[in-house]
Structure 1
């Protein structure tokens, strides 16, 4: 009995001596002093045995609880930073290590890190950590991207047009992995951005949507409070206004958000010149269009409401309800000069067009992280679109003959989609497996000159399944993706169905400290839009018609791309080369109907057809220097494109050199910037060669507390302002057009941004909403 009491007392004393204690601290960046979330913190003993493990929260804070040893080592590991090992002695209660500073490192096993600029080159993307200077200099998110594009190969930003592109194509924006609109991205407080994950290759998940890259903004986590942002772009020399109001509020496990965007624009000096020929009749018809002052009014409203519920850090549900309304009105005036043989005539051409539509969308998303290596995402989307479109033609000849035509289209469409995505990490390889089903129905009623509406409806069913993997072997990063799509389209004239497969692969090789190379191969069958398969025959003018084609086949797109990147200090250089080919390309082809028995006898018909192929050879050199003299960032790009278009009856080609320069200068709270297109780039749309819109600008911004004030001049020292040129070669109807808006010449715009954040912080899981949009099947561009 006595021995039992003595044993009890001894064990109690031992327990008292080694009672459970805690170790805490805050981990920050040594240079920027920013907190580092997600740092891996471990407690190990002399034998290197891991006793406890945790990670820092959104504020960089951590706590190791239930520490039952007096002496040990605290290890800190964070991607892109030097690891740190701290000896601790906690004989006297809980231990607070205070601020622990981690230093960025220049190299790390299996990845490439540029410490001064904080660029981590992973197998499938670039991870960029904005410096404190970059965050402080930027007035908003687009401005931040414009500054950081020197580190993001292929990224192009035009702040005046609010346009972002990657490798010449579209972009999917995400916030914490959740897909968002550009207006939502603009509303972010750039100072809350922890890092940017940039992908300049198509994601197999979004391959169906034709995007070329993904930009994901990882934000500082929040707990209670919120953010408010108001931005206004107002032109003082023309009628153009863009406004955004956004707010987000966090409370416990819930997040509420609202985002409203409004664009209003009215032009009164809009012109369209054209030279065209119609070949097929006894005499060629020559028409010369002389643009007269015309007007255009655009008014669009976008509003979205979002709610996110975090059951815990591994389980969440998100919902978003959005609504878009558009009202457009164009009044185009032109003088036409026509020559048919020896006969010459002149007439006035008046084309008023109206478009009015609205579409609500509901998006639901669920995510569950089962462990650190696997997760499941479920997404459901539904949208409805309704619109009325009118296109009028009124020709008044000098001879007194008039031609009048009124085309009306009423549209009702809807789309619904379901998606499931399973992610699994196997060792050092990340894999994903997904399936997406989408049903799209479009019903259009078409009428000419008050006649009874002709109904047309189409239903498209898409089943898309895909999978990918990403990993690294020594210095070689790789991604391999495959997808399969079953496509079934049903219309009044019949139905078509196809089963096609997609493939995507990238290789990223780190040659040495300064050089790296990246290769991309893409194989992607593309389905035609519903508007191209519409059976309705639309009158274009007095001698031409436009029609769709239900039986056109999917085109097949293949691309090889290689770029080599060099970086030393703040200097960046990237050399690109690519070759792409589209077989069964979708082209707008002109025919002349010379069959006397046809109802369209002696008419020129524009119809969507499958061509043989289109080729594109492209080279490009990008040069950039950031923080020159600690005040200036310069970027320049020059390239050459060659396009070849082969149809069943003709072949055309185009060679063009293009170049652009941009600059940002910083002095205290002032930013001065400029973007100039030395020689605009050309692109190919079907069989039409299109010169990029010229929208050059220079301006200045001043930051004061929670405000940013800016002014810029767009298309300075020009007479035509906004200008676009197109050329469509054809043996039946060749045409070249020049469209320009003088209202945008020497345009002065003022910009005001007010942004404020309030409340505490906390940690949220990533999520994504990605199914959106409806194909209405409406084509009013004829």
Structure 2
């Protein structure tokens, strides 16, 4: 049955690709019908008569307004449209900040080389300029159908921080004990770059985002309830990071350097060179960063024959050094077709150097405690290549597009560890106190290799005045190999996902809607007798109603899936800290969840706010839990399927401008969650009420600097066997323009009072465990960035009612 389904599935994929390919080929052939005639002319500004470079010229047939060909002007403002057939035409000229020009009808004879006698003059469009000016001062957040969009490009933290650091300033987002981004307290979140999963291919998202400058981010879309457009993986939500698009003519870019407390330094370069139809872009980043990852453990084990107390103190330094380089190009075939290619190389070296002190006490006996300590040096050396290619085609019908994205990554890493364990044994004999030190040396070494490929096709077709139909296909293959040294211990993981979706959206009056259905076939297997394959349907519904321009209601529903990944299944144990191990399981299954969200958004003259009720129900969820191994009495953290989890939250989010230079934004949420582990576990159902909130203040002293302060509080939150204790912290960010605007100096200070501590308590009838993680969070950094090249074009427009001078980004 599975074999037959595979053949049918493959046939459908081939048919789909053939349909799309033939559609593109037909459209391109229509738009570039060859002939022997041509049209030549020049485009200039009306007031100054200066040539306009990169103006867009499109020529259409008169009888049916079909697009025939397009081009752009050169530095002299000249354009040439060749290979035209004899016929009747008109052409259109477009240039940002200027009015669109539509020519009169004219005829071209076969073989004629028609030259415009006079230059085409474009007048400044003051309405467009005003709109651009408003965009440059856009508000911090904006509610759209199915998502909230945050403008982070103006944040002081964005000038000198990483993407992780700027995400941590946003409402509903936070950072966990391992540095990973959480959404509403859950790490089960999908992160996209420019709407694609290919941007984070083959790497840990937390590590990648910590290596990318927040300065390159334009805005962040937070999607609580996913639509069928996106891959169905990820129960907690979606964070879509939209990067800045630098398509400025000529050579442009920036260089940056950062120094931080406790031996932290980084630097980088990014630039692009646009000439004619080709835009070359590239970047290089270097980082050398050491940070503390200390923790303390207090564990009491209570079994029938064992009653011991373990006190552990781990002093760990984590080093992260890398070189990341990227090269690529955009090729504008014509106005309707664009190709993009890029290659990224990453060389990453990580070191975990730690000392672990263990004090063990037998509570029921009078024996002296035993004291051991362990030295650990673990190194990871990784090299990674990522290849991307994309094609965008715009059809003659406005808004109809086809995009194809391909990505492939190949990375390999050597993981090695050396360990020195020192045990003190009591040798007291006949009242003579003595001790002996026993030293044990051990090591481990394993290789990891990962190959991942993604192919994605998306098609958009406008329907009527306000409707839109979307469809697409996604294929993802992910193969991970762990080579430990023996066939019995090696681990291989392979995942194949096929997804096909269809969506329709539209509006009628004040009512808007988006309806979608996604089908995904999953096939996951390992060499440890784990195999699972299934076909699922994932519906999504998004509705909104605008009571007015300032009041909007939304309702959304989606079904999602979470599949077991390689880390949950891998049985390999790292020997870095034997008393605290993580171990994969082979008997876990994918789980499904239902998301429902209802919200009301209000927009006042100087303030906007939003209230949301969100409910998430997960059945058969995958959750980690702790147990004490019978043979060794070590603590093991493993994943298993629980019966269910219910999560609900009522949240309030708002922002206001107190005056021209001071703005505030805030978020507060009341949460109730309940976890039912089900049968087979030694702990029962737990529930808890929680509260979390965040306040951010931005002060813009234009002649001096911009200052941002952020305060976050989180009450105790529930975990399966216990709870995280409350935490709070304050972050600061400051930036100032220097060197006549070409330089940017920024300073960030995270956790300025050193209060960011993760304290977790877990227990069952056999143990009580208290752990405090001292991940280094009190960090100060000073950054400088210098911009070079021509970045702005000044439009000297003087509307009658204002003598103000306007500027806009040159694209």
Measured against the shorter chain, the TM-score band is 0.7 to 0.9
Q: In structure 1, what is the equivalent of residue 15 of structure 2?
A: none
Cα deviation 1:676-723 (Å, max 9, x = unaligned): 3342367778768557986632243211220011223332243xx653
Q: 1:518 aligns with which of 511, 532, 554?
A: 554
- Rounded to whole Å, the distance in 2 between the matches of 1:178 and 1:436 is 11
Q: In structure 2, what is the equivalent of residue 640 of structure 1?
A: 670
Q: In structure 2, what is the equivalent of residue 287 of structure 1?
A: 310
Q: 1:413 aligns with which of 434, 450, 453?
A: 450
Contact conserved, 2:668 with 2:694, CA < 8 A, in 1?
yes
Contact conserved, 2:505 with 2:513, CA < 8 A, in 1?
yes
Q: In structure 1, what is the equivalent of residue 797 of structure 2?
A: none
What are the residue-to-residue correspondences of 1:33-48 with 2, within 5 Å? none
Count of paired positions:
670
Are 1:272 and 2:295 counterparts? Answer: yes
Q: In structure 1, what is the equivalent of residue 373 of structure 2?
A: 348
Shift of 1:573: 1.7
* DSSP-derived class of the 1:308 partner: strand
Contact conserved, 2:100 with 2:122, CA < 8 A, in 1?
no
Contact conserved, 1:562 with 1:578, CA < 8 A, in 2?
yes
- Rounded to whole Å, the distance in 1 between the matches of 2:165 and 2:547 is 27
Residues 265, 219 of structure 1: alpha-carbon distance in 2 compared, 3 angstrom cutoff: closer
Residues 259, 280 of structure 1: alpha-carbon distance in 2 compared, 3 angstrom cutoff: farther
Q: In structure 1, what is the equivalent of residue 319 of structure 2?
A: 297
Q: In structure 2, what is the equivalent of residue 660 of structure 1?
A: 694
Q: In structure 2, what is the equivalent of residue 597 of structure 1?
A: none
Residues 410, 551 of structure 1: alpha-carbon distance in 2 compared, 3 angstrom cutoff: same
Q: In structure 2, what is the equivalent of residue 459 of structure 1?
A: 494
Contact conserved, 2:160 with 2:782, CA < 8 A, in 1?
no
Contact conserved, 1:580 with 1:617, CA < 8 A, in 2?
yes
Q: 1:376 aligns with which of 402, 416, 422?
A: 402
Shift of 1:665: 0.9
Contact conserved, 2:227 with 2:558, CA < 8 A, in 1?
no
- Rounded to whole Å, the distance in 2 between the matches of 1:315 and 1:660 is 44
- Rounded to whole Å, the distance in 2 between the matches of 1:115 and 1:234 is 30
- Rounded to whole Å, the distance in 1 between the matches of 2:633 and 2:162 is 57
Cα deviation 1:241-276 (Å, max 9, x = unaligned): 232311111111111111222222123x55211122
Are 1:476 and 2:500 counterparts? Answer: no
Cα deviation 1:191-220 (Å, max 9, x = unaligned): xx7x98876653544434535133445757
Are 1:612 and 2:643 counterparts? Answer: yes
- Rounded to whole Å, the distance in 2 between the matches of 1:200 and 1:157 is 15
Cα deviation 1:295-342 (Å, max 9, x = unaligned): 221112221111121101211211111112221111222332223332
Shift of 1:374: 2.7
* DSSP-derived class of the 1:282 partner: coil
- Rounded to whole Å, the distance in 1 between the matches of 2:137 and 2:784 is 34
Q: 2:781 aligns with which of 727, 734, 749?
A: 749
What are the residue-to-residue correspondences of 1:394-405 with 2, within 5 Å? 394-399=420-425, 400-401=437-438, 405=442
Shift of 1:25: 7.8
What are the residue-to-residue correspondences of 1:445-594 with 2, within 5 Å? 445-446=483-484, 454-494=489-529, 495-536=531-572, 546-591=582-627
Q: 1:432 aligns with which of 470, 477, 498?
A: 470
Cα deviation 1:611-634 (Å, max 9, x = unaligned): 1122222222223212x2211111
Residues 126, 57 of structure 1: alpha-carbon distance in 2 compared, 3 angstrom cutoff: farther
- Rounded to whole Å, the distance in 2 between the matches of 1:543 and 1:749 is 35
Q: TM-score, normalising length from structure 1? A: 0.74
Contact conserved, 1:442 with 1:459, CA < 8 A, in 2?
yes
* DSSP-derived class of the 1:207 partner: coil
Q: TM-score, normalising length from structure 2? A: 0.71
My pick for the range that moved more, 270-279 or 54-63, is 54-63
Give the gaps of 5 or more residues in structure 2: 1-40, 48-54, 61-88, 107-117, 201-207, 426-436, 794-811
Shift of 1:119: 8.2
My pick for the range that moved more, 319-328 or 430-439, is 430-439
Residues 528, 656 of structure 1: alpha-carbon distance in 2 compared, 3 angstrom cutoff: same
Cα deviation 1:504-550 (Å, max 9, x = unaligned): 22222222343222222221111110122224466686677653223
* DSSP-derived class of the 1:588 partner: strand
Residues 564, 284 of structure 1: alpha-carbon distance in 2 compared, 3 angstrom cutoff: farther
Q: In structure 1, what is the equivalent of residue 95 of structure 2?
A: 57
- Rounded to whole Å, the distance in 1 between the matches of 2:197 and 2:320 is 32
Residues 122, 614 of structure 1: alpha-carbon distance in 2 compared, 3 angstrom cutoff: closer
Contact conserved, 2:598 with 2:612, CA < 8 A, in 1?
yes
What are the residue-to-residue correspondences of 1:23-422 with 2, within 5 Å? 56-66=94-104, 98-102=123-127, 122-124=144-146, 154=171, 169=189, 171-174=191-194, 186=214, 188=216, 201-208=225-232, 210=234, 212-216=238-242, 219=245, 221-222=247-248, 224-235=249-260, 237-267=261-291, 270-292=293-315, 294-343=316-365, 344-371=369-396, 372-391=398-417, 394-399=420-425, 400-401=437-438, 405-422=442-459
* DSSP-derived class of the 2:499 partner: strand
My pick for the range that moved more, 751-760 or 115-124, is 115-124
Give the gaps of 5 or more residues in structure 1: 1-20, 28-36, 43-50, 69-92, 107-112, 595-599, 762-782
Are 1:711 and 2:747 counterparts? Answer: yes
Residues 492, 685 of structure 1: alpha-carbon distance in 2 compared, 3 angstrom cutoff: farther
- Rounded to whole Å, the distance in 2 between the matches of 1:284 and 1:564 is 55
Q: Which has the higher contact order (CA 8 A, sep 6+)?
A: 1
Shift of 1:558: 1.8
Shift of 1:170: 5.0
* DSSP-derived class of the 2:231 partner: helix
- Rounded to whole Å, the distance in 2 between the matches of 1:54 and 1:562 is 45
Residues 340, 305 of structure 1: alpha-carbon distance in 2 compared, 3 angstrom cutoff: same
Instruction: Compute the RMSD of aligned alpha carbons.
Output: 4.6
Contact conserved, 2:271 with 2:281, CA < 8 A, in 1?
yes
